């Protein structure tokens, strides 16, 4: 089914089109939700809530940009709203499976190492992790992050700086990053 046919079917509330859309995009979007979630159940809740928004707001998609990018923005905002609603910005998190992460760094030698980095990111306090995800992985500016999280732009910047420092310490401790301050490799991915 083409993307246009899929969109038309969803606009007409066709269950078959909705199912195809969900099956096509849910694996990638679940990966997005995992990066923000406290646990697997929260990630699945975020995903379901996000797709409800996708289906109810599909009429607002104007074909300006990628459809997947539009869905991704809805998922990110859904995750942020979920975290705000549940006041989880100050909690620590446990490690869970996080497949499908796209780290912006070509020098990472293997997907295994990328998954190790994701697991280390998930060890950060959720406030730090959220800002790091939004800035380094999703590409939002600190001004946009401040608006989304209802914080000051300077708070977003300092949370990001602290998140990078804490992540570096975790990566060194787990021997993923050498002790010398060679940030050219893994942490360069977060250096925007």
Instruction: Write down all domains in the chain, each with its CATH number in brackets.
Output: 1-88 (1.10.1740.10), 91-192 (1.10.10.10)
Residues in the chain: 192
Chain segment 27-59, per-residue pLDDT in tens: 999 989 988 887 889 899 999 999 999 999 999
pTM over 0.75? The answer is no
- Where does the pLDDT of residue 189 fall: very low under 50, low under 70, confident under 90, or very high at 90 and above? low
Computed over its alpha carbons, how large is the radius of gyration of the chain? 17
Burial of 113 (0-12, 13-18, 19+ CB in 10 A): middle
Name which of 62-71, 80-89, 95-104, 176-185 the model is least confident about: 95-104
């Amino acid at each position: 089914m083409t993307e246009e046919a899929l969109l038309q079917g969803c606009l007409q509330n066709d269950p078959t089109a909705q199912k195809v859309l969900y099956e096509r995009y849910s694996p990638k979007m679940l990966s997005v939700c995992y990066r923000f979630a406290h646990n697997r159940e929260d990630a699945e809740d975020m995903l379901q809530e996000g797709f409800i928004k996708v289906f109810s707001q599909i009429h607002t998609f104007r074909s300006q940009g990628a459809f997947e990018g539009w869905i991704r923005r809805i998922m990110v905002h859904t995750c942020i709203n979920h975290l705000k609603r549940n006041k989880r910005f100050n909690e620590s998190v446990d490690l869970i499976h996080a497949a499908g992460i796209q780290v912006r760094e070509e020098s990472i030698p293997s997907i295994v190492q990328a998954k190790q980095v994701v697991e280390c990111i998930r060890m950060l306090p959720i406030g730090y992790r959220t800002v790091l995800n939004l800035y380094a992985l999703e590409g939002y500016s600190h001004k946009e992050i401040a608006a989304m999280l209802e914080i000051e732009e300077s708070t977003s910047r300092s949370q990001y700086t602290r998140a990078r420092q804490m992540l570096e310490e975790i990566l060194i401790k787990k021997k993923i990053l050498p002790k010398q301050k060679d940030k050219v490799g893994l942490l360069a991915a977060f250096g925007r």
